[in-house]
Amino acid sequence: MSAVLRLVGVTEQYGEGETAVSALSGVDLTVDKGELVAIMGASGSGKSTLLSIAGGLQQPTSGEVVVEDTYLSTASARQLAALRRRSLGFVFQDFNLIPTLTALENVTLPLELDGFRARVARRAGRDALSSVGLEDKVDSYPDDLSGGQQQRVAIARAVVGGRRLILADEPSGVLDSVTGEAVMKMIRTRVDQGAAGILVTHEARHAAWADRIVFLRDGRIVDESRRGGADALLAGARRARSSSVRRWMPRRRRRPAPAPAGSDRGGGRVSAWRAVRRSVPGRRVCWSSR
């Protein structure tokens, strides 16, 4: 497996002196090609900071970030800009579409900035929009699209031109559950086609689309799924009893999952997790610590 993203000992401190906030402390994280990693944690635990540093939008206070073969600490502004245009796809919680551009123009913007001929960019943009089911909305402006459609345009923009690292910050935060699942599926598909992805989410059913879940608390990775599987992860989570862990539990379960015969884990997080896993149709959730 080849690493698309490596964070090594990444620390981020905002401000100085008594008011300094330590947003990330010694974070090590590797994401391979074909791997989708979900990041969960309470508000303020450092998820957005991690994503922003991974995408070179901000420099860490210390530590190294490597995207493919580029060491971000020593890359020039020009190299960083090229990397963001060509290799990285961001999906922000609030979509960040440009209101005066059509859906197609929003999607092709990174390609056009990168010097692609307009015709080539438009073809790639149309393909990306049809991959998210919006082929009939290419000429619509963001204001004429629903929230779910806008988010799909944002996903199309994040994957257009074969971007190799997708960074999504609560991409389904404001969407209804059906659209949220569709958005997860699109990110999963692009990752399966050979990208790497990080997905920040507070919903367990969305994290279930990932190959691995990493929990952040106060800027540190406190838990990570291991080869032992979800049960080992959840046992660790129970010990940690952190608010970050509690937050990702689904608030309501449609149907309480009965405890398996002979199991000492009736109710509680494990059966809730099984319910979550079942809620992802057609997909076997695979746990690994590659």
Ligand X SMILES: Nc1ncnc2c1ncn2[C@@H]1O[C@H](COP(=O)(O)OP(=O)(O)O)[C@@H](O)[C@H]1O
Side-chain half-sphere exposure of 237, counting CA atoms within 13 A: 26
Contact between 44 and ligand X per CB under 6 A = yes
Smallest distance, ligand X to C-beta of residue 181, A = 22
User: Nearer to ligand X by C-beta: 43 or 130?
Assistant: 43
What tokens does 35 get? 């791997």
Smallest distance, ligand X to C-beta of residue 25, A = 11
Candidates 10, 31, 36, 49: give the one binding ligand X (CB under 6 A): 49
Q: Please give the Cα distance from 58 to 237 (Å, whole number).
A: 30
Strand partners, 5: 31, 67
Other Cβ atoms closer than 10 A to 98 = 12
User: Residue 142: which of ligand X, Mg ion, none does it interact with, CB under 5 to 8 A by kind?
Assistant: none
User: Residue 161: which of ligand X, Mg ion, none does it interact with, CB under 5 to 8 A by kind?
Assistant: none
Residues contacting ligand X: total by CB under 6 A: 12
Contact between 14 and ligand X per CB under 6 A = yes
Contact between 41 and ligand X per CB under 6 A = yes
Dihedral (C-alpha) 10, 78, 154, 244: value to the nearest 10 degrees? 10
Residues lying near Mg ion in the complex (CB under 5 A):
47-48
Candidates 10, 29, 47, 80: give the one binding ligand X (CB under 6 A): 47
Candidates 6, 38, 45, 257: give the one binding ligand X (CB under 6 A): 45
Candidates 36, 37, 46, 257: give the one binding ligand X (CB under 6 A): 46
Candidates 29, 38, 48, 92: give the one binding ligand X (CB under 6 A): 48
Residue corresponding to tokens 């990775």: 221
Of 203, 277, 285, 216, the residue nearest 247 (C-alpha): 203
Candidates 4, 23, 132, 160: give the one binding ligand X (CB under 6 A): 23
Side-chain half-sphere exposure of 223, counting CA atoms within 13 A: 25
Question: 37 and 197 in contact (C-beta within 8 Å)?
Answer: yes
Region from 14-22, 85-93, 131-139, 280-288 binding ligand X, contact rule CB under 6 A: 14-22
Question: 169 and 96 in contact (C-beta within 8 Å)?
Answer: no
Contact between 21 and ligand X per CB under 6 A = yes
Side-chain half-sphere exposure of 98, counting CA atoms within 13 A: 11
- Could you list the residues that contact ligand X (CB under 6 A)? 14-15, 21, 23, 41, 43-49
